[in-house]
Structure 1
Amino acid sequence: MTAPTLQELAALRAEGAVHRVLVPGSGESWLVVTRDAARAALTDPRLSNDIRHSASWQTDGGHAVGRNMLQTDPPHHTRLRRLIAGHFTPGRIAALRPGVERIAGDLLDALPRRGTADLVGRYALPLPVTVICELLGVPEGDRGGFHTWSNELVMPTSHEAAAAAADALTGYLTGLTDAKRRTPDDTLLSGLVTAADSGGLTAGELLGTAFLVLVAGHETTVNLISATVHSLLTHPDQLARLRAEPELTEGAVEESLRHNSPVHASAFRFATEPLELAGTAIAAGDSVLVSLAAASRDPAYFPDPDRFDIGRRPQGHLGFGHGLHHCLGAPLARTEAAVAVRLLLERHPSLALATDPAALTWRTSTLLRGLAELPVRLG
């Protein structure tokens, strides 16, 4: 199975909740495509995130950077999540909002008032990169390089390139944590180093947690911002409604999460014992992949699910997952996307696509889906 299209997922969903598929580079797996079955799988304690429960496990793979909470179950997952959860509370995110607005405003100031620009490279990407790097404590001069490495790891172009990116990012984060150890500050990474030095984290967990915050803290948000703008520009009735009712901006972002899930699927789960999922027998050691995109377009819960409607109240979509591994950074991603869309539309009232939508390239992997670029006319 290559990364399935939304149409292919819909066809599978019409046939049943769980399907046996072949995932390139990972072998056979069960793919879950309905909302009920997805929620059940994401909360079933018999489905572990630890690859060592896989029947085919031999090593953790050649592209892992440390060990993070997405690769663990309670109690280790609980301990690792608790170490960074305090940085993503509603109060902390509210305090970050003025900074997000400042960064977005600066990026918009750098765009020409008229002409064309790639909204991914000039806006949707540098906004979350800057925010998460400031939070984590990545020096400004280093921010371009790490995105190249992380993008290769989440959407690999080849085995060799992914391995090289993992080595490069491992070396960079090791050097950065050493620098924080020598010169502590008030950033998240410095706090993680302190936790590691006091015995709260292993060296591998320190590296893995820094990697997860850095990568998950921007990759999905880039896709969310660009997909939301794309959906608005390709649905002029919805764009007109949002311009008339800017208070619907958060609703537009929420509908974009449902309609164009930036995270297409969960991380693999592995059955620790035989179980049944939506009437399908899963053997111990089998892998299970949950399609968040398919679940969020399930017509049993979302009437006319292929319609983009910013007035919809899409409660229950799985754009940020569900259960113990629900995305910790969801409040920050929502804030960044809402700020980005609102300020962009305010600054550029004549914003329009600068190319045929059919000519746009969507980059996909097992986990993620996003636009490679989004050429727009600014005025």
Structure 2
Amino acid sequence: MQSSQDLTEDTVRVDAARCPVGPLGTPFDAQFFADPYATYRRLHTEGPVHHIRTPDGVEAWLVTRFSDVRKGLGDHRLVRHVRHAKDTYHRFPLPVEFTKSLVREDPPEHTRLRRFMNMAFAPRRVRALRPRIVEVAERLVDELGEHGETELMASYAAALPIEIIADMLDIAQEDRASFRRWADVILGIDPEEMREGGIGMLKVLTDLIERKRAQPGDDIWTEWLEGKDDQGGSLDQHELIGMGFMVLLGGYDPTAGVIGCAIHTLLQDPALAERLRKEPELMEDAVEEFLRMFGSNHTAARRFAAEDVEIGGVTIPAGDTVLLSLGAADRDALQFDEPDTFDIARNNNRHVAFGFGPHYCPGTELARIQIAVALEVVLRRLPEMKLTVPAEDVRLRPAYFIRSPVALPVSY
């Protein structure tokens, strides 16, 4: 699961053709969208911190080295609340109800909201989901039939986490069909589509909350509705909506992206695929290496310097936007030997795919379980699966926050 920490109304997908030209560096360009890792290698050689302009026109400081990124993720001077931003900062057009969430807050308010979010991912709840995850993965493969062709992102890699997150939040079956479309446009570039997708998702969440108020049960909504913070306070309506939004979007999209990228890798490396079939005990280590190499959270949610902050020898002025590049950090040769090589036996694989510090993704164990189950089932059930297009023609979503294969056309 990606980290829900990296999803807000400020999450944006961009079109390379719309990247503005300006005096600052624009690393998120067409070359980046085709192969971000080549851009990361270049940035690593040029320095630890880069003054850039994002494709949507925001000036920011991009931090790329592992040591600086990990430290920055826990630095209390790099804050989330927009009140610390300069006037030049702008947000994206999702409903205001989605903006009151822990991803946009700093302690102590973040600490308060995090207690409620952790309820969704309590160890007992996550452990109880594993049989359901296996059941859904097996059913999705059954539905493909014994042979044929499919677009595997829609039919499997995305369908699995959508089903599990929808189960967690008791999303009605008729609304699940729209969920991926809503998520894709919310992470899109068209303001009107983003707004419409947000409105659709907001209606589902609002109706759910009202239903759970009237009919409480043994579910996360009831825990959120009945839960109290240390001061005896409850979540208000906007905070409840923010909780549901974060679990929905954060629990689906990043996990789907890692599953898709991992399958794409395995289809290009039959020896690795066969090794994992014969030695399933290696799957846990393989998942960590897939997360390091292909974690779909490429850039942590924006932060703002609450005061002048020095990073990598560069002074970042108070109020400036700071982007911590998780994707670049996890390919840093100063931290990982041969970082662009998949090494299932890698030592010291202390990646930051799920972040670090107070905003560390609360859904990490659920994400790990879903990725492992998805890979184990598809390797066992579809051993003859092949891409029906050249591997280099598999396009990734043109984004610098959350990256995912657009489609995986395969035969089996």
Contact 1:149 1:169 in 2 (8 A): yes
User: How many angstroms apart in 1 are the aligned matches of 2:381 and 2:324?
Assistant: 39
1:249 Cα shift?
1.3
Letter in 1 for 2:119: G
| Cα 1:161–1:201 shift into 2, 3 Å | same
Cα deviation, 1:147-188, whole Å, max 9, x if unaligned, reads 21122112x131221122222222222122112212222221
Letter in 1 for 2:177: G
- 1:75 matched to 2:121? The reply is no
Unaligned runs of 5+ in 1: none
- 1:62 matched to 2:62? The reply is no
Equivalent of residue 76 in structure 2, options 23, 33, 45: 45
273-282 or 64-73: bigger deviation = 64-73
SS in 2 for 1:276: strand
Letter in 2 for 1:93: V
- 1:187 matched to 2:222? The reply is no
Equivalent of residue 320 in structure 2, options 273, 280, 286: 286
SS in 1 for 2:404: strand
User: How many angstroms apart in 1 are the aligned matches of 2:295 and 2:398?
Assistant: 11
1:300 Cα shift?
1.1
Cα deviation, 1:214-247, whole Å, max 9, x if unaligned, reads 1101111110111111111112232232223221
1:57 Cα shift?
6.0
Give the TM-score, by structure 2 length. Answer: 0.87
- 1:94 matched to 2:127? The reply is yes
1:63 Cα shift?
1.7
User: How many angstroms apart in 2 are the aligned matches of 1:184 and 1:34?
Assistant: 47
Matches within 5 A, 1:123-142: 123-142=156-175
- 1:267 matched to 2:301? The reply is yes
111-120 or 207-216: bigger deviation = 111-120
Matches within 5 A, 1:1-379: 1=26, 2=28, 4=32, 5-56=36-87, 61-64=92-95, 65-154=98-187, 156-195=188-227, 199-313=233-347, 315-378=349-412
1:256 Cα shift?
1.0
User: How many angstroms apart in 2 are the aligned matches of 1:133 and 1:50?
Assistant: 29
Number of residue pairs matched by the alignment: 377
1:189 Cα shift?
2.2
| Cα 1:337–1:247 shift into 2, 3 Å | same
User: How many angstroms apart in 2 are the aligned matches of 1:236 and 1:18?
Assistant: 38
User: How many angstroms apart in 1 are the aligned matches of 2:223 and 2:122?
Assistant: 16
| Cα 1:311–1:60 shift into 2, 3 Å | same
| Cα 1:179–1:57 shift into 2, 3 Å | farther
| Cα 1:313–1:228 shift into 2, 3 Å | farther
SS in 2 for 1:371: coil
Cα deviation, 1:294-345, whole Å, max 9, x if unaligned, reads 0001111111111122232452111111111111101001000100100111
SS in 2 for 1:376: strand
Letter in 2 for 1:181: R
Contact 1:68 1:205 in 2 (8 A): yes
User: Quick one: percent identity of the two aligned structures?
Assistant: 36
SS in 1 for 2:397: strand
RMSD of aligned C-alpha atoms? Answer: 1.9
User: How many angstroms apart in 2 are the aligned matches of 1:129 and 1:56?
Assistant: 37
Higher relative contact order (CA 8 A, sep 6+): 2
User: How many angstroms apart in 2 are the aligned matches of 1:230 and 1:166?
Assistant: 30
User: How many angstroms apart in 2 are the aligned matches of 1:169 and 1:252?
Assistant: 34
1:190 Cα shift?
3.0
Contact 1:51 1:57 in 2 (8 A): no
1:199 Cα shift?
4.0
| Cα 1:47–1:294 shift into 2, 3 Å | same
